[in-house]
Structure 1
Amino acid sequence: MDGCAEAPAAGTVLNALATGRGSAFAIDLTVTAEVALDPDRDTVAGSVAEDADADTALVERCVELACETYGDADADYGGVVETTSEIPMASGLKSSSAAANATVLATLSALSVADDVPLKDAALLGVRAARETGVTVTGAFDDASASMLGGLTVTNNERDALLARDDVDWDVLVWTPPERAYSADADADRCTRIAPVAELVEELALAGRYETAMTVNGFAFCAALDQPTGPAVDALPLADGVGLSGTGPSHVAVGTHDALTEVQELWNERPGTTLLTTTRTTGGRVLTT
């Protein structure tokens, strides 16, 4: 009973910490999960290929929930899950949502039910696991939906409702500094103080003005989360949109390849790494092993 699946990273248009409504878009960087269910095991054991000491509670809970929801009610499911990631952890690029999505899909594949479960329902299992294991403040349905469905999504995280989805075609530049920031550690109370700005960003996103929305969101949340605005200022004359992704520390710019190549030269002067990639209109998918 083996399964393998992948799901992409995502960048932020609207951070949901202020109002419970968020927006994100899929980026062509992936997490791959391999799941092996074993009826002779009593528990699920997880591992992260890039970090032997990483917390694996989220992916383990994803396997458990998928088995409880879609497996044989009379069966006990243990096993192992291993994730391999192209996404820097704790960088604001939704690595947790991507890992949860990939793990849920891999488990559904191992149970031979992946084709029967709507992708939104699969994403919601990962959201539930994230809430139960404390890796998210908002539930992150915005991040999870963008990763699972591909394209750009706008969501109400308090109701787990998908408000809009659209395909976007951008080149994407990511700058990730050396430090890390965990979503669960963000000052949510401070973020609620910028709710009026977040409401404006939501209006812009729902009107299809995604690049402007992510730029306004980025400056507002940089202020609320004490993140630097310098990278956005560097990018603004060239990129169509730029902003802090999640709670940081990564910044993401979108636009044309030539314009982002110029931004990359500026961002390369900062400590950390840059990566030039694209958006992704396809989301999570089962892989053949």
Structure 2
Amino acid sequence: MDGRAIAPAAGTVLNALATGNGAAFAIDLETTATVELTDDATVTGEIAGQPDADASLIERAAELTVDRYAADAGLERSGVGARVRTESEVPMASGLKSSSAAANATVLATLDALEIIDAVDRIDACRLGVEAARDVGVTVTGAFDDASASMLGGVTVTDNANDALLAHERAEWHALVYTPPEQAFSADADVSACERLTSMADLVCELALEGRYGEAMTVNGFAFCSALGFPTDPMLDVLPTVEGVSLSGTGSSYVAIGDRATLADVRERWEGRPGSTRLLETRNDGTQTQ
């Protein structure tokens, strides 16, 4: 019994570290998970091309999914194990939601292997991946904003404290991503500094709920660059041409949105910096089985 799923990465509209409310949108970078169910009751994980990488997130995501749904598939939980393998084009520790994509892909691939994928609500599946991320300590906020955008596609606004979806709609723009060489791990973020941005984050959330995503991103970007110690120069490079630009997550990537032609024109401003740039479509289909 095998399963396979692909999950997109995401960019930030509102960082949830200040208030627990967050917003994100799916972008066209993918993580693929394959899951093989076994009868040895153990769960093992592997990340392609990174033999020494920590696979605890994908192992926990598969384990929780089997725990929750093995009986629904007509299987005895005590005898079910899984071998999980992920491969990804999402750079790790770059603010592009690699963990959320890996967890989502693993959960859906496991459900696919259990042959009950159509019986499980996507938000419930998303919450399993978030639970796994919390269990293994790869997230501070629970990342329901990032995970929901990756799972559902489009742009989502969420209450991460309650894993509640506040808004969801299509993302009708392209994204330009700049990723510096440095990595930035979410679990290392200065939460106390971010919590001082409560009033600013409330404003960003209001803008996002009004559908003013570009303005929301830009306010978020300047605020969280300051709190997290990232330069605002990459944002200033592309303003005021783009519709919005922000530090993505807790860094180190920056994401700008707008129409494709405009983003292609401003791309050269980021290409002069160390690191890499990508001009991407947004994704409205979310995580899918194959």
TM-score, length-scaled by structure 2: 0.97
**In 2, distance between residues paired with 1:63 and 1:113?**
14
Alignment check: 8 A CA contact 1:8 1:28 kept: yes
Give the match's secondary structure for 1:84. strand
Which among 216, 222, 227 is matched to residue 224 of structure 1?
227
**In 2, distance between residues paired with 1:74 and 1:36?**
16
- Identity across the alignment (%): 60
Deviation at 1:171, TM superposition (A): 1.2
1:74 is matched by which residue type in structure 2? Answer: E
Matched, 1:121 2:120: no
Which among 229, 237, 245 is matched to residue 248 of structure 2?
245
Matches for 1:92-171 after TM superposition, within 5 Å:
92-171=95-174
**In 2, distance between residues paired with 1:208 and 1:139?**
23
Q: Figure out how many residues of one structure are paired with residues of the other and give that number.
A: 286
2:21 matched residue in structure 1: 21
Give the match's secondary structure for 2:8. strand
5+ long unaligned stretches in structure 1: none
1:16 is matched by which residue type in structure 2? Answer: A
Deviation at 1:74, TM superposition (A): 2.6
**In 1, distance between residues paired with 2:104 and 2:260?**
29
**In 1, distance between residues paired with 2:260 and 2:211?**
21
CA RMSD of aligned residues (A): 0.8
Matches for 1:45-56 after TM superposition, within 5 Å:
45-56=44-55
5+ long unaligned stretches in structure 2: none
Deviations 1:118-152 (A, max 9, x none): 10000000000000100000000000000000000
Moved over 6 A (4+): none
Deviation at 1:237, TM superposition (A): 2.2
1:206 matched residue in structure 2: 209
Alignment check: 8 A CA contact 1:97 1:144 kept: yes
1:68 matched residue in structure 2: 67
**In 1, distance between residues paired with 2:35 and 2:91?**
21
Give the match's secondary structure for 1:45. strand
**In 1, distance between residues paired with 2:53 and 2:92?**
10
Deviation at 1:79, TM superposition (A): 2.2
Deviation at 1:207, TM superposition (A): 0.7
Deviations 1:152-200 (A, max 9, x none): 0000000110000011111111000111011111011110001110000
Alignment check: 8 A CA contact 1:26 1:150 kept: yes
1:78 is matched by which residue type in structure 2? Answer: G
**In 2, distance between residues paired with 1:79 and 1:194?**
42
2:27 is matched by which residue type in structure 1? Answer: I
Alignment check: 8 A CA contact 1:238 1:262 kept: no
**In 2, distance between residues paired with 1:245 and 1:196?**
19
* Farther-moved stretch of structure 1 (102-111 vs 253-262): 253-262
TM-score, length-scaled by structure 1: 0.97
Give the match's secondary structure for 2:201. helix
